[in-house]
Amino acid sequence: MLPSFQSAKLPIRSTVRGRRPDMGVAMYDVIVVGARVSGAATAMLLSKAGHRVLLLDRAKFPGGKAAATNLIHPPGILRLRRWGLLDAVRATGCPPIHSYGLQSGPVALMARLPAVDGVAEAYSPERTKLDEILLQGAVEAGAELREQVALRELLTDDHGTVIGVRAETEDRTPVVAHARLVVGADGANSTVARLVGAEKYDTSPVLNKSHWSYWSGLPHDGRVRTYRHHHKHAFTWPTHDGLTIVGVALPVKDFQAAPDEERDKTVIAAFDEVDPDFAARLRETERVDRWMTGAVPNFLRRSHGRGWALVGDAGYTRDPITAAGITDALRGAELLAEAVEPALSGDRDLNQALAGYARRRDALVRGHYRYTRDHAMIADHNREELEIIRAMTRSPEHGSGMVGMFATIVPPAEFYAPANIHALFDHVTPGGDPGWKIRMVKWLVRGAPRHLPPVTRLADRLIAANLGSMGTYLLGGSAGRTA
């Protein structure tokens, strides 16, 4: 049973099983490089399964992490609950979040999160405390933690299989250790990925830049609010210690560096356009931290090879606009541990197990990755898209599905499946004129008259031109229809 984690400063002690690596070449089952969300979780799960794990990080804990906004969606919260860590996260003083809002121009959608295995809550804990809780979980499970040790080289055998690491302490003392598997959980600029030459694929450059900060004195009502308007993406949600995250993302070309006082004005002005009541509250209350800036590129990386694997941001980095990095890191750690555990126990070939992990990782994240990149462009929705989102505000099931898609619960391909969109059209402006393009889309989804193939071809073109990613999914889902 883990102790409760009320305090910000936890003593972290390593449990040393076997020889310490700086006393000679020690042998482990797994060496995990990077001891934050993905690394600590992977080390914890494999240690719990009885494997000898060395967990090393060049940082000294607690602290040392660049600021981020730290929203964890229900699939991430489910993992924390499964691992017995959720009570500790709750005890850090972050309130539960049950609803997400996606407001686009005049259309305001606010819906409850769908449940995933009984979990329908999100949290935005203080990052330092989350890292400590996971790290403590890893150490208590038996992982040997080495702080302020930086990976320098990977050791390989004659066939190029990775068999260990050469690292260095801060005073340049060498640390050499061998293992059957080396896991790179060392973030977007992963040293493991560089050393093995893991290539990136499906890449996009930085699509937007955001600035955000913490505010006090705003009421907490368990809601994430996001707004898209005039090529700006404003966002706010409750976080730890009674504070609220407030920020705005803009396409790269529109973003300008500015002193803090200037940013107060531009952020409040952005909220004036979409939620004047909230903007008024911002004027009455207080920003309690500096403005921080985020700009993240998008890529997947080959996530396995002989004797090595990547997990978390090292293997998959995406724009933070959908706030999914921590959730994905926790799910990725679970996928990796489940895949390699039987091989480490001797029941399966390790390379096959790693290939299976890579396939499942890609299948899990690809749909949301595409959705995130589309979101990250911060393009305003056109009239037809708004009409479809307005229909979602009238159908609680679709509204919940839409925010569930944002929160990595509902795969985009499932949400945009023809049957689901078919049902949504019952909620398109009753009796009004949703526009001839919408009628075309309706025809496409419900099936155009068989004798009118040109109509469906026209509908295809309209969807491609007018419905952004919605259209892409609709076209994909309707492949094979009569036309």
Residues at the interface with ligand FAD (CB under 6 A): 33-39, 56-59, 68-72, 150-151, 185-187, 191, 294, 296, 312-313, 320, 323-327, 329
CB of 375 to ligand FAD, least distance (A): 13
Burial (CB < 10 A; 0-12, 13-18, 19+), residue 342, is: middle
Residue with tokens 């895949």: 339
Residue 83 per-residue DSSP state = T
Q: In the complex with ligand FAD, which residue's Cβ is closer, 72 or 198?
A: 72
Residue number of the CB closest to ligand FAD reads 325
Rounded Cα distance between 378 and 206, Å, is: 12
Q: In the complex with ligand FAD, which residue's Cβ is closer, 37 or 402?
A: 37
Q: In the complex with ligand FAD, which residue's Cβ is closer, 104 or 124?
A: 124
Q: In the complex with ligand FAD, which residue's Cβ is closer, 38 or 244?
A: 38
CB of 476 to ligand FAD, least distance (A): 27
Rounded Cα distance between 242 and 237, Å, is: 11
CB of 320 to ligand FAD, least distance (A): 3
- The residues, any chain, with a CB within 8 Å of residue 125's CB and separated by 6 or more, are 70, 72, 89, 92, 94, 239, 240
Residue 337's alpha-carbon distances to 146, 316, 342, in angstroms, are: 20, 17, 9
Q: In the complex with ligand FAD, which residue's Cβ is closer, 163 or 391?
A: 163
Q: Which of 54, 294, 77, 43 is nearest to 188 (CA)?
A: 294
CB of 284 to ligand FAD, least distance (A): 26
CB of 268 to ligand FAD, least distance (A): 20
Rounded Cα distance between 337 and 42, Å, is: 6
Q: In the complex with ligand FAD, which residue's Cβ is closer, 181 or 470?
A: 181
Residue 384's alpha-carbon distances to 89, 106, 422, in angstroms, are: 42, 13, 15
CB of 257 to ligand FAD, least distance (A): 15
Per the CB < 8 A criterion, the answer to whether 335 and 85 are in contact is no
Q: In the complex with ligand FAD, which residue's Cβ is closer, 150 or 413?
A: 150
CB of 417 to ligand FAD, least distance (A): 26
Q: In the complex with ligand FAD, which residue's Cβ is closer, 131 or 385?
A: 131
CB of 71 to ligand FAD, least distance (A): 4
Q: What number of helices (H) and strands (E) belong to the chain?
A: 16, 19
Q: Please confirm whether the linkage preceding 411 is cis (ω < 30° from 0).
A: no
Residue 467 per-residue DSSP state = S
- The residues, any chain, with a CB within 8 Å of residue 148's CB and separated by 6 or more, are 57, 58, 59, 60, 169, 170
